[in-house]
């Protein structure tokens, strides 16, 4: 999870100035401070359940999600109005790929933090009716009795949802999970569709 946050920070720095929500180092600095506070409050395994740590986690994911949505909106606006980032197919594909990867990381962290009360709650007790149903939960024969989804499971969920534009192996059960996965699919379809179409237009 910490590596995903660092990767999202790096992607934010790599974005062109007009696609960032704030100056180059502002959001990475905020995200870095929140991440350090989380690590200091709960070093090692994520197993401490406190209101303060929960608030910090939600704040961190919120900043990442807001940044990803802002970059997506700015990229779409740039494409529709033939901005400077769209004049070169190479630049457009690089920028579009960076924005798309940022949304995948942001949504993976969103799933990781919101599913079943967050990672600390999942470690102590998995609910009988989770918001996101993994194959190991649908069929207990596929895993150990104490199986818990880890961050890599949520990253895979976000990646497949962003490429297939629909659920693959993980089923959304709660309303918020259905809405979030639907929004991610639409955002990903918008980014990939417009970027590819604009890149083909530039090349031809």
- 168-178 per-position pLDDT tens digit: 889 999 999 99
Is residue 43 scored above 70 in pLDDT? no
**Residue 49 has what pLDDT?**
63
**Hey, where are the domains in the chain?**
2-203
User: For the CA atoms of the chain, what is the radius of gyration?
Assistant: 18
pLDDT tens, position by position, 89-124: 788 888 888 999 999 999 999 999 888 887 777 777
What is the Cα 149 distance to its own chain's centre? 16
């Amino acid at each position: 999870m910490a590596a995903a946050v660092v990767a999202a920070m790096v992607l934010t720095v790599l974005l062109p100035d007009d696609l960032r929500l704030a100056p180059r180092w502002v959001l990475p600095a905020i995200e870095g401070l929140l991440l350090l506070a989380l690590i200091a409050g709960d070093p090692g395994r994520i197993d401490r359940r406190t209101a303060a740590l929960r608030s910090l986690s939600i704040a961190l994911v919120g900043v990442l999600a807001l940044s990803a949505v802002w970059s997506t909106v700015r990229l779409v606006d740039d494409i529709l109005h033939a901005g400077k980032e769209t004049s070169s197919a190479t630049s457009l594909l690089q920028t579009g790929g960076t924005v798309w990867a940022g949304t995948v990381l942001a949504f993976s962290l969103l799933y990781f933090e919101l599913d079943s009360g967050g990672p600390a709650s999942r470690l102590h007790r998995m609910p009988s009716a989770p918001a996101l149903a993994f194959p190991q939960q649908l069929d207990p024969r596929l895993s150990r009795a104490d199986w818990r989804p880890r961050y890599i499971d949520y990253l895979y969920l976000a990646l497949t949802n962003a490429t297939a534009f629909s659920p693959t192996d993980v089923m959304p059960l709660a309303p918020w999970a259905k809405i979030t996965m639907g929004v991610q699919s639409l955002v990903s379809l918008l980014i990939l569709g417009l970027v590819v179409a604009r890149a083909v237009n530039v090349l031809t």
